[in-house]
Amino acid sequence: MKISCFSLKPVKVFVCLLLVCATLGVMLGVTSCESIYFGYQARKVPIYSVDTTEKKVALTFDAAWGADKTSKIIEILKEEDVSGTFFLVGFWSEKFADKIKEIDEAGLDIGTHSNTHPKMSTLSEEKMTEELEKSMELIKNVTNKDVKFFRPPYGDYNDQVVSCAEKLGLKTIQWDVDSLDWKGLSSDQILSRVKASVKCGSIILFHNNSDNILEALPNVIKYLKAEGYKMVKLSDLVYEDNYVIDNNGLQKKK
């Protein structure tokens, strides 16, 4: 006598459902059966951190308003023999081409932070493309180098934003350690936030003109060195190809 899987015990019923989901997943090109069974949708995710056993992290600095502290940040990185990455907004780049040159000549990475700092997910694809292309052009006009990385303003993104960046050859970068330096936190508070979250492959978010960045940065670097971390630019941390990004934004080598 044939037995329907729905006449079996609950555990067996669940197994049957998973098998059905898996079959549907293959038929529909979905990578995981839970995306069918639980109603999840496949989505594009930026890189929040990198899966690596090496003790290395990326210091990143968003630049949108003001440049008074930029040269000193570069000086601190140079003195400490560590590297980093700057993300520049287009209207900042227009005002401070000399700073772009200084960042580039220091051997640091430069990414785009959009052209006008909008919420990218609210824009049409045409406007998204315009935001990225204009800001990339301003950087390349100074450095004569292609821009490889993009950080969405406010950390705001959707599938279309990430896809648009991909079409332009950009990897979309977020962060897994937020210093919250823009909130006026003290040097000690910023350091505490880094201590609480940093791990191998972390991407740490700072801002180039925040209130206490010049006091906090040397202390952060000192702590990370003491813990055995190497501070590198993004191009020395993220994988160039043959990788996947999980739902938590962890970039993994295939």
The model's pTM: 0.85
| pLDDT attached to residue 6 | 41
25: region left, alpha or beta (phi > 0 left; psi from -120 to 50 alpha) = alpha
Q: Which of 118, 205, 197, 132 is nearest to 170 (CA)?
A: 132
R_g (Cα) of the chain, nearest Å: 22
Per the CB < 8 A criterion, the answer to whether 143 and 104 are in contact is yes
Structural domains of the chain ordered from first start? 5-37 (no CATH), 49-253 (3.20.20.370)
Tell me whether residue 68 is one of the annotated catalytic residues: no
Task: For the chain, give the mean pLDDT.
Answer: 89
| pLDDT attached to residue 42 | 73
| pLDDT attached to residue 22 | 44
Tell me whether residue 117 is one of the annotated catalytic residues: no
Catalytic residue among 62, 109, 176, 181: 62
Per the CB < 8 A criterion, the answer to whether 35 and 60 are in contact is no
Buried b (16+ CB within 10 A) or exposed e, 150-178: bbbbeeebeeebbebbeeeebbbbbbbbb
Instruction: Identify which has the larger pLDDT, 18 or 178.
Output: 178
Is the pLDDT at 34 greater than 50? The verdict is: no
Count of other CB atoms within 10 angstroms of residue 254: 7
Instruction: Identify which has the larger pLDDT, 7 or 188.
Output: 188
Per-residue pLDDT tens over the stretch 126-152: 999 999 999 999 999 999 999 999 999
Per-residue pLDDT tens over the stretch 146-179: 999 999 999 999 999 999 999 999 999 999 999 9
Pairing type for strands 177-178 and 203-207 reads: parallel
Catalytic residue among 109, 113, 176, 207: 207
Pairing type for strands 243-245 and 250-253 reads: antiparallel
Q: Which residues pair with 156 in a beta bridge?
A: none
Per the CB < 8 A criterion, the answer to whether 24 and 228 are in contact is no
| pLDDT attached to residue 8 | 44
Question: What's the rounded mean pLDDT across residues 52-81?
Answer: 97
